């Protein structure tokens, strides 16, 4: 305390200041906690969401044990426990319980726990999931001889191997040679893949050729008329060629039939937990494993093999099983095409705004347009894409170039090209904004230097400005891709389908089929989750697809950031 | 050597003057200039192009009809007194049937007569006639009380061009005839074979010795076993409902018809019956007298038919001149000699004095003609019909009440018989002066007007006019109900509830991040929140609908409790924090405090989950879903939950400045400010809870019950779920923009405020927030724009029920979701297709307004921030 503070007021003033900390009201502690709480809630919401997707997506393919559940009423079931939840059993059900159980339920305020078992065997039970309430369970065992068979049809089968018939050599439950079975299974699967290749690829190619012959003839008929000598001539030649192709087709069909006959000799007889039998051709089984008798490496093997199938195979069973390769492929193809379409448009608009336009009313209209383009709901783009691109532009293309296929539309319906263009329109603001920022960041001195050296305006832009703005443009393009890859609503109108057997890019001329419908990861989620027979059976698939889509979008976002940083470094060396 | 060189080097800078810029550079420059300018302006084209295209597709909905051709012909062989006119579905052959059974058919474009048999009336002249809606089956009543059935079949078929029979007479535009049948050119080099074959059945005696004055006829059953029903009124006023079933003997091929007849309760003596109608399933019969009085019979029990209702449908001085059903046999159109046209249907009305509880209600008043209506013809495809008068024909629509087309036929004598051709693309009229008129018309969207899309419409069978969206159903006579109002309402409802959840969370989080969060934590949290903005909404929709919805359904009480429990636990924690000695509090400020806050939120959620069932017992008699249905419990609990926060806030604000000197004195002496603040807060809390409960009780006693309003029947996929999922999509957007706005408030304002002794809290609320307000508001607007247009979340999680209902536990159907679901199935250029484009346009306009407003506010904010 300063020595000259002997004045009347100061001594009282100083202790008051010291003894009274800031007014609690001014600190606003409860409000601060409210603000922080909101942030905490938001962060936890997001973290919880990501964890949910991550956990479910990663854990789905890991093989689970098979429980054999004996119920209090003597019923038996075998299945993989899927999840557990609390629920409120109906009052009538509770009333029928023994008194001790009733007390337990009452203490939990009417709630009880139950477990969802995936029992499989849809063909036998008509359902592949079953809820079992905890109080209904008498005993749970995990016998080692239970197998899970993933079948091509009807979903999984859970049960025991009853007997095996390997091309005449039969074995009973006691002495099944597992290694020999595994080898026979691999071979049967290999033959199955051959059959598929023949039926899908080769016969498909022949059919396509026959179809294109027919169309060529029809085109000729439309052009020259049906009664001209040229037409009759062409018809004769077409007939000969089609006959040759039909012979080729028959040869292929015979080959496939031979393989099928061979496969039919390998069968396996299965029995479910109650002894109901089911005979299956070995080739119809994707994989099988003894769920309760599997080492950690065995489990990891199944896990990896399932991921492999998921990423590379085609979907089965109304998309609820198998893989999503066509969807991955479709998403990539559409997104790439979109970027090709959006890049020039976005960059040109940004160049106009930054380099060419004189600030004024016109530029502000352009800016309002860009902002509105960014704010228009995506579904509106879908409506526009369908009405304008597919029906009007596509319809005109069909009339001019593909009259022989009418009334079947070629370009006159949703397809890859229209989807890409629609999404390009949707994402163009992203590119414009990013490019503008990048152009603004190029120092004025660089431009002036170039112009002073005698370069023309375009030369300056092309050689000096654009290369320096490239990181920003790339970032914008990648962000546009991330946005486009996650967008589903407009695609539902302009070309996405639940199942597209033919990829938009293949080995048949003209290699890239712009008019084809395609599959998309986002739509796959919607379709499997909401349109399939059994949403519970599709759930694992949806979770993995969700994980994949989120990973894809996150990867693109991360790449955008990385590219920006990398290119920034590269160009920072030449800073003036 | 060097000296002479010097002047040369000095001129060197001038040398480039002689070099010319390469032509290619100039061209490239010019080309780039043009390309970029045009490309840049193309963006305007894109936005306005989308809008104009949407308008272009939607606008034909509101355009009326147009006439594409008119033909007038003299009737070739002058059938005496035509009873019926008919035309085939390609508008090629016209037919007139006289009351003496004479049939004349002719090629419509040229008037060339076609040979056709006459109906066999046995020399009689029909006194009454009726036919089915598709015109193929006719019934005639005669003066001797007999009834004859006849059938008119258009022989239609398609034959290849080279199998045309030889010796045809050429008619107009590629049509030709062999005298009986017209071969009309069809697309693809083929020919349509169109002719008319008529057949008459033997007479059936119905009324003994009394002339039939009115008859109505329906045909059902199969071709092998047709069942025919008809209703007749004879000159003595006896009404008979008869059904005839024909059985074919498979061995002999002979047909045997059995006739069963029920006589309806008698009409008042002297009734002059003008028309009689009944429904195809024979449950209702309507007898109309000439003055417009209608006797409605309930004939569901044929053994005991009753007269259900007698009602006057016309003003006193008018006489009935047209009376008929529209397709579906629910709407009854009545027209009189005064030119009035009205639509009625039968509705179940409480306290109706009628025999069966139904009443005929006049639902539609259509524009009246100036003169008496003389003819009426209903469409076979929709609710369209045509009315004829002496000076013109009007094509109208029964539900939308609009007059689509007014045709005048100055040269002919009016429309005594009028009809719409089977495809609704032509109107055929016979005027009685020996001339027929045929107009080719194009009426693409008769059912839509601005009123039907944005206003209330009274649809058949609905108790009152309303806003309805129902675009498809299983039956042919179904009428699409295309009101956009339920969809716009759904969009607004979803947006409002989503913003109610998202705005507080996003704004509070943004303020905290910008003003109170350590910059390192901020560098971590902000990008994470921003990443969420690019999360595909299909993923959010999936998680919300398939994972969240079932969980929330089970734990609904806990979810409601959490809304209270989380803020409450934060407040408790904050007051506990205040009790901490100030030096501790300062030391722990920062990361430990943030962690504490997070833990408190988690604790609040956990507590809510733990206490959810107890809460449900205490507040909602143990079953929330039964409670919201109104079947159990009282209104008070929910009112209390809503009133409590309000009363607490009011109490807080009222006592905030209240200085209690004695309390302050004790607090000063004991240096336990925090403890006293807590005490005071607890008193406030319990006090306001008590007050809130009192208010809730009083409100409940006054009859306030939110059940049926904002809460009601619980469905699994509901607005609560949508709001939560949409919150996920919207929070990152609002958060980012608001945080940017708060952050861009100049640092010197912050510094000045703190230097003046304001606490960070005071600085944030009194300096930063007001300055950044417009930017924050723009963030909310942009978030709103996103919520309005969000599609996949709504498609998946909203249940898609198009209802007008604020109930947060019920679903909704948004414009966007509706487009996504219905557009893929709609027919190009159909009414639904165009209506969905109109829906897209509505969405476009909504977001356009919101985004433009947001952009303007944001620009104002930028200007302001720049000035500071």
* Rounded percentage of chain A residues whose pLDDT exceeds 70: 94
Interface predicted TM-score of the whole assembly (ipTM), two decimals: 0.87
Q: What's the mean pLDDT when you consider all of chain A?
A: 84
Sort out which chain A residues have CB atoms less than 8 A from B765's CB and list them: 28, 31
Q: Alpha-carbon distance B338 to A252, whole Å?
A: 80
Among B40, B617, B792, the residue with its CB nearest the CB of A357 is: B40
CA distance A236 to chain B (A): 22
Residue A477 C-alpha, separation from nearest chain B C-alpha, in angstroms:
14
Q: CB pairs below 8 Å between A and B: how many?
A: 333
Q: Which tens digits make up the pLDDT trace of A483-533? A: 888 889 999 999 888 887 778 877 777 778 888 889 999 999 998 888 776
At residue B265, the pLDDT reads 86
Peptide bond into A54 cis (omega under 30): no
pLDDT for the residue B540: 92
Preceding amide of A407 cis, omega within 30 = yes
Residues A11-35: pLDDT tens digits?
Answer: 333 344 444 445 777 778 888 899 9
Q: Which chain A residues are closer than 8 Å to B57 by Cβ?
A: 387
Tokens of B529: 């929140």
Whole-number Å distance between alpha carbons of B367 and B345: 18
Q: What is the pLDDT of residue B4?
A: 46
Long-range CB contacts (within 8 A, 24+) of B855-862: B855/A368, B855/A371, B855/B778, B857/B774, B857/B775, B857/B777, B857/B778, B857/B781, B858/B774, B858/B775, B858/B778, B860/B774, B861/B741, B861/B772, B861/B773, B861/B774, B861/B775, B861/B778, B862/B775
Shortest Cα–Cα distance, B759 to chain A (Å): 6
pLDDT value for B15: 57
**Are B539 and A546 within 8 A, CB to CB?**
yes
pLDDT at A87: 83
The two structure tokens encoding residue A130: 């079953």
Which of B538, B597, B714 to mutate against chain A (most A CBs within 10 Å)? Answer: B538
- The residue of chain B nearest to residue A535, with distances taken between CA atoms, is B546
Q: Do the beta carbons of residue B412 and residue B61 sit within 8 Å? A: no
Domain boundaries, chain B: 83-159+177-214, 485-635+705-867, 636-704
Which among B22, B43, B563 is the top mutation candidate for probing chain A, defined by the most A β-carbons within 10 Å of its own β-carbon?
A: B43
For the stretch A143-189, pLDDT in tens is: 988 899 988 888 889 998 888 888 888 888 777 888 888 888 999 99
- Whether B362 and B307 have beta carbons less than 8 Å apart is answered as no
Boundaries of every domain in chain A: 67-158, 169-264, 329-572
Kindly report whether the global pTM for this prediction surpasses the value 0.90: no
Given a cut of 50, the residues of chain B with pLDDT beneath it are 1-11
Q: Do A384 and B529 touch (CB under 8 A)?
A: no
Interface test with A, best of B36, B622, B728, B779 (most A CBs within 10 A): B36
Q: What pLDDT is attached to residue B14?
A: 54
Q: Does A51 touch chain B (CB under 8 A)?
A: no
Between residues 214 and 233 of chain A, which touch chain B (CB distance below 8 Å)? none
In this prediction, residue A197 carries a pLDDT of 86
Q: Give Cα A374 distance to the centre of its chain.
A: 25
Structure tokens at B174: 């590629």
pLDDT at A9 over 50: no
Helix/strand/coil for A36: helix
Separation in Å, CA B235 to CA B209, B296, B320, B521, B741: 9, 19, 18, 97, 88
Tell me the shortest Cα–Cα distance from B50 to chain A, in angstroms. 6
- Collect all residues with Cβ–Cβ distance below 8 Å to B289 and sequence separation of at least 6: B267, B271, B272, B273, B274, B295, B320
pLDDT at B661: 75
The domain defined by B485-635+705-867 folds into MetI-like fold (1.10.3720)
B582-585 own/partner pairs: CB under 8 Å, 24+ apart: B582/A21
The pLDDT value recorded for residue B7 is 46
A428 C-beta neighbours (distance < 10 Å), count? 25
- DSSP-assigned states of every residue in B122-140: TT--EEEEEE-TTSSEEEE
- Strands B176-177 and B182-186, bridge-based pairing: antiparallel
Protein fold of A329-572: MetI-like fold (1.10.3720)
User: pLDDT value at position A387?
Assistant: 93
Cα dihedral angle (A435, A439, A442, A447), rounded to 10 degrees? 140
Report pLDDT for A221: 78
Residue in chain B lying closest to A225 (CA): B189
B720: CB partners within 8 A, 6+ apart:
B497, B552, B559, B808, B809
Residue to mutate among A36, A114, A319, A455, with most B CBs inside 10 A, is A36
> CB contact, 8 Å: A488 with chain B?
yes
Angle B677-B680-B683 from CA coordinates, rounded to 5°: 150
């Amino acid at each position: 305390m300063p020595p000259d503070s002997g004045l009347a007021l100061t001594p009282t003033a100083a202790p008051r200041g010291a003894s009274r900390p800031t007014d609690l009201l001014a600190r606003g502690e409860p409000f601060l906690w409210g603000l922080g709480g909101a942030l905490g809630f938001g962060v936890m919401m997001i973290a919880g969401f990501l964890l949910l997707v991550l956990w479910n997506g990663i854990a789905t393919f890991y093989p689970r044990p098979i429980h054999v559940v004996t119920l209090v009423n003597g019923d038996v079931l075998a299945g993989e426990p899927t999840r557990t939840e609390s629920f409120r059993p109906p009052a009538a059900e509770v009333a029928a319980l023994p008194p001790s159980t009733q007390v337990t339920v009452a203490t939990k305020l009417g709630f009880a726990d139950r477990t969802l078992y995936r029992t499989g065997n849809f063909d036998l039970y008509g359902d592949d999931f079953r809820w079992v309430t905890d109080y209904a369970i008498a005993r749970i065992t995990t016998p080692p001889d239970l197998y899970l068979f993933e079948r091509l049809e009807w979903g999984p089968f859970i049960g025991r191997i009853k007997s095996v018939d390997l091309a005449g050599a039969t074995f009973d439950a006691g002495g099944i040679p597992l290694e020999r079975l595994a080898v026979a299974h691999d071979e049967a699967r290999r033959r199955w893949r051959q059959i598929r290749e023949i039926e899908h690829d080769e016969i498909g190619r022949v059919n396509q050729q026959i179809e294109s012959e027919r169309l060529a003839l029809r085109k000729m008929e439309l052009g020259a008329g049906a009664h001209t000598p040229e037409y009759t001539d062409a018809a004769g030649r077409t007939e000969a060629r089609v006959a040759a192709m039909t012979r080729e087709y028959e040869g292929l069909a015979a080959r496939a039939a031979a393989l099928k006959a061979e496969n039919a000799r390998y069968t396996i007889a299965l029995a479910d937990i109650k002894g109901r039998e089911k005979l299956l051709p070995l080739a119809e089984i994707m994989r099988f494993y003894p769920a309760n008798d599997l080492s950690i490496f065995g489990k990891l093997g199944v896990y990896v093999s399932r991921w492999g199938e998921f990423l590379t195979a085609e979907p089965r069973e109304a998309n609820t099983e198998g893989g999503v390769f066509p969807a991955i492929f479709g998403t990539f193809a559409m997104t790439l095409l979109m970027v090709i379409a959006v890049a020039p448009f976005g960059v040109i608009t940004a160049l106009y705004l930054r380099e060419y336009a004189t600030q004024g009313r016109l530029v502000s209209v352009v800016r309002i347009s860009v902002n509105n383009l960014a704010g228009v709901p995506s579904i509106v783009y879908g409506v526009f894409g369908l009405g304008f691109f597919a029906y009007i532009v596509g319809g005109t293309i069909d009339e001019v170039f593909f009259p022989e296929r009418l009334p079947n539309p070629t370009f006159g319906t949703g397809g890859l090209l229209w989807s890409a263009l629609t999404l390009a329109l949707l994402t163009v603001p992203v590119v414009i904004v990013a490019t503008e920022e990048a152009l603004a960041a190029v120092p004025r001195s660089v431009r002036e230097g170039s112009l002073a050296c005698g370069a023309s305006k375009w030369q300056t832009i092309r050689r000096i400005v654009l290369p320096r703005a490239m990181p920003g443009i790339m970032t914008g393009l990648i962000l546009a891709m991330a946005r486009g890859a996650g967008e589903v609503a407009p695609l539902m109108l302009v070309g996405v389908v639940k199942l597209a057997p033919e990829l938009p890019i293949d080995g048949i001329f003209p290699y890239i089929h712009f008019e084809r419908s395609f599959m998309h990861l986002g739509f796959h989620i919607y379709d499997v989750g909401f349109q399939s027979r059994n949403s519970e059976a599709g759930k694992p698939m949806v979770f993995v697809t969700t994980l994949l889509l989120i990973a894809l979008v996150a990867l693109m976002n991360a790449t955008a950031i990385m590219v920006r940083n990398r290119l920034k470094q590269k160009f920072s060396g030449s800073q003036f | 050597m060097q000296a002479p060189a010097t002047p040369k080097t000095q001129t060197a800078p001038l040398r480039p003057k002689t070099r010319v810029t390469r032509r290619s550079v100039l061209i490239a420059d010019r080309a780039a200039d043009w390309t970029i300018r045009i490309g840049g302006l193309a963006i305007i084209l894109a936005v306005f192009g989308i809008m104009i295209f949407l308008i272009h597709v939607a606008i034909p909905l509101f355009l009326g009809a147009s006439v594409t051709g008119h033909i007038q012909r003299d009737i070739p062989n002058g059938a005496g007194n035509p009873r019926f006119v008919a035309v085939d579905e390609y508008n090629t052959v016209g037919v007139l049937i006289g009351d003496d059974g004479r049939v004349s058919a002719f090629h419509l474009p040229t008037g060339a007569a076609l040979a056709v048999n006459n109906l066999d009336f046995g020399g009689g002249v029909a006194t009454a006639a009726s036919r089915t809606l598709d015109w193929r089956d006719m019934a005639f009543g005669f003066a001797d009380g007999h009834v004859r059935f006849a059938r008119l079949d258009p022989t239609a078929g398609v034959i290849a061009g080279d199998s045309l029979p030889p010796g045809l007479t050429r008619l107009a535009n590629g049509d030709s005839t062999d005298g009986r049948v017209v071969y009309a050119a069809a697309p693809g080099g083929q020919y349509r074979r169109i002719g008319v074959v008529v057949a008459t059945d033997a007479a059936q005696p119905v009324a003994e010795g009394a002339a039939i004055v009115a008859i109505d006829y329906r045909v059902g059953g199969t071709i092998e076993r047709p069942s025919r029903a008809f209703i007749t009124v004879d000159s003595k006023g006896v009404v008979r409902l008869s059904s005839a079933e024909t059985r074919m003997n498979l061995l002999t091929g002979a047909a045997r018809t059995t006739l069963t007849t029920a006589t309806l309760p008698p009409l008042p003596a002297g009734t002059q019956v003008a028309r009689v109608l009944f429904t195809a399933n024979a449950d209702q019969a309507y007898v109309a007298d000439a003055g417009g009085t209608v006797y409605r019979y309930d004939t569901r029990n044929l053994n005991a038919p009753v007269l259900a209702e007698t009602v006057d449908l016309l003003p006193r001085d008018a006489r009935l001149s047209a009376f008929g059903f529209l397709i579906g046999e629910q709407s009854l159109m009545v027209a009189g000699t005064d030119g009035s046209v009205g639509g009625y249907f039968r509705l179940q009305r409480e306290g109706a004095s009628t025999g069966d509880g139904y009443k005929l209600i006049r639902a539609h008043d259509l524009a009246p003609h100036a003169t008496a209506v003389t003819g009426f013809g209903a469409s076979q495809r929709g609710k369209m019909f045509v009315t004829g008068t002496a000076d013109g024909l009007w094509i109208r629509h029964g539900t939308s009440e609009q007059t689509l087309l007014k045709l005048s036929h100055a040269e002919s004598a009016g429309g005594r018989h009028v009809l719409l051709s089977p495809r609704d693309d032509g109107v055929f009229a016979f005027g009685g002066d020996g001339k027929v008129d045929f107009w080719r018309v194009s009426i693409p969207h008769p059912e839509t007007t601005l009123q039907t899309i944005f206003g209330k419409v009274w649809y058949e069978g609905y108790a009152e006019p309303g806003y309805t969206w129902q675009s498809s159903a299983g039956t042919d006579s179904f009428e699409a109900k295309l009101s956009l109002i339920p969809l716009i309402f759904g969009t607004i409802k979803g947006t409002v509830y989503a913003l109610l959840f998202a705005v507080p969370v996003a704004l509070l989080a943004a303020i905290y991040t910008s003003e109170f969060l350590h910059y390192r934590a901020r560098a971590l949290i902000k990008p994470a929140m921003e990443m969420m903005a690019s999360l595909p909404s299909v993923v959010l929709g999936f998680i919300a609908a398939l994972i969240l919805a079932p969980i929330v359904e089970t734990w609904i009480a806990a979810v409601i409790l959490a809304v209270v429990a989380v803020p409450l636990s934060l407040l408790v924690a904050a007051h506990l924090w205040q009790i901490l000695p100030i030096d501790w509090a300062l030391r722990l400020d920062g990361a430990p405090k943030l962690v504490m806050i997070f833990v408190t939120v988690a604790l609040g959620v956990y507590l809510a989950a733990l206490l959810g069932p107890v809460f449900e017992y205490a507040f909602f008699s143990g079953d929330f879903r039964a409670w919201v249905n109104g079947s159990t419990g009282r209104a008070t609990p929910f009112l209390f939950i809503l009133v409590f926060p309000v009363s607490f806030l009011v109490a807080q604000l009222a006592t905030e400045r209240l200085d209690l000197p004695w309390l302050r004195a004790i607090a000063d002496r004991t240096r336990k400010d925090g403890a006293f603040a807590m005490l005071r807060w607890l008193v406030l809390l319990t006090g306001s809870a008590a007050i809130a409960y009192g208010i809730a009780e009083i409100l409940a006693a006054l009859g306030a019950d939110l059940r049926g309003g904002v809460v009601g029947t619980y469905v699994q996929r509901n607005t609560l779920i949508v709001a939560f999922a949409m919150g996920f999509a919207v929070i990152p957007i609002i958060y980012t923009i608001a945080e940017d706005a708060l952050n861009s408030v100049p640092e010197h304002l912050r510094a000045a405020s703190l230097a003046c002794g304001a606490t960070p809290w005071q600085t944030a609320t009194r300096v930063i927030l007001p300055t950044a307000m417009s930017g924050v508001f723009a963030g909310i607007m942009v978030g709103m724009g996103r919520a309005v247009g969000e599609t996949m979340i709504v498609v998946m999680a909203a249940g898609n029920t198009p209802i007008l209902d604020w109930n947060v536990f019920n679903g909704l159907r948004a414009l966007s979701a509706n487009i996504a679901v219905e557009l893929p199935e709609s027919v190009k250029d159909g009414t639904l297709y165009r209506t969905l484009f109109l829906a897209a346009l509505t969405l476009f306009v909504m977001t356009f307004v919101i985004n433009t407003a947001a952009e303007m506010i944001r620009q104002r904010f930028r200007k302001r921030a720049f000035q500071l």
